[in-house]
Structure 1
């Protein structure tokens, strides 16, 4: 996140990738667990899939405009947290998204060391929860293997996971299972899980008590970030709350300024005649030019917005 310019971020990723072992080296990107941190990680993930690695379940690569300027993709795979190699369903619009409600992040509790306890002056608890977003990717194949050992992903793997592996003769591969992207919602008689599936979609699965005694018990014990293998009774597509659309970072435009102010935009109405602009007012508020109130008495003088906008000396 400290690197605001796109070309600096690209150069950093290129340098880290070159230092990574081509025989199964693992690269982990981690940022703070808030919308801007998630967008920084999602940008890295999108570029890794588009330019650096190719897996058996990757989407077809778009035709490059300048083939000589594009690097050759090599075998690789995303290890975590994604169990798919599709476009991230929470990052449909590149760039910043004001008002984002859904973003992929997780929480980790750690025990504060004694010196930090003394610095903070904490006496009631010695732990803290930290939210973070991350992506871990493997470059190349492991030593002794000829190809990337990636299990089945996609719609078929999602349907099998929905059916459940409770009575399967062998354990499923973790990379073929959906992952909890939020804490489970526990209600009397059923548990609701928000999952990111191997098909690259967000779905809400419901596990009632009548579905399976084991599945219901484990669903109530499930935690944020866990994989889910015991299926569910019902499923629906979960709409993604993405806010107000993408904003290119540091584009200097009106929408970028709006994002920097927390999504609020000032709308200024200008009144003009043949002599030029004579009044400026902000939408939803009274006129911002000095006027006399009814009865000839002077009212409270509002701020001179015309001077503020450089329209009056």
Structure 2
């Protein structure tokens, strides 16, 4: 089923030349051979959110030059060629082709009145950006990542844009834009307030950990069994039976996530040459609680109370 392009889309596809946008509007889209069928293109249809709706914002940095970006569906996207240039990635096409499909897309962008050049640009999201950073051999890649993550992205998320000269000019020309900024700031303030409430809830647990749990005082299951003078096999069976630990599908012994286990264990991830996993450690509190429980359940006299 054929349908016609909007005036906005027609004007962007043919910004200049002998074919008028009005004529192009009358042509069914099925007859336009260059419209990609499988490529994700933003804002050819007016109801789609697009970079044109948000405007391109340019980040300027003395060390890395200019990076064009825009907020699409509340997520920051970066023009891929600008990122590759800043990171001195020689073959940008090859680097971009290696990105996953959900890390990039092709879209139309505004060239600030400049009608030369191809308006179709590849943009990358945050995961795609980090993949490009990791592929760069430039020593300054770490500094570039810090600039993006500490300055650019937080500003985008807080205000819906980066306060550049072009954005200030836009506000002067379109006073209504300041309302968008105010709404974005209110939303960000509410989000920060919610995060602060979560942080205040978690703070007592974090303070307890910092004050009483020294990782150097924690021991794994085998060492704890030796300290308590309990055969390791019997100790593990006790921990499983009393629901302190469970055995994961990969065979690892991990603590149940329940209130009664709070402060008894810590879990550390580890990586070896060919294996990645997690290992459970007893805290001093955990050793004492389990010692008392074992002695009560099994009726065996164990080591004296463990010093904390």
TM-score range, shorter chain: under 0.3
Quick check: which one's helix share is greater? 2
TM-score, length basis structure 2: 0.19
TM-score, length basis structure 1: 0.19
Larger Rg: 2
Quick check: which one's strand share is greater? 1
Looking at both structures, which has the greater relative contact order when contacts are Cα pairs under 8 Å and sequence separation is at least 6?
1
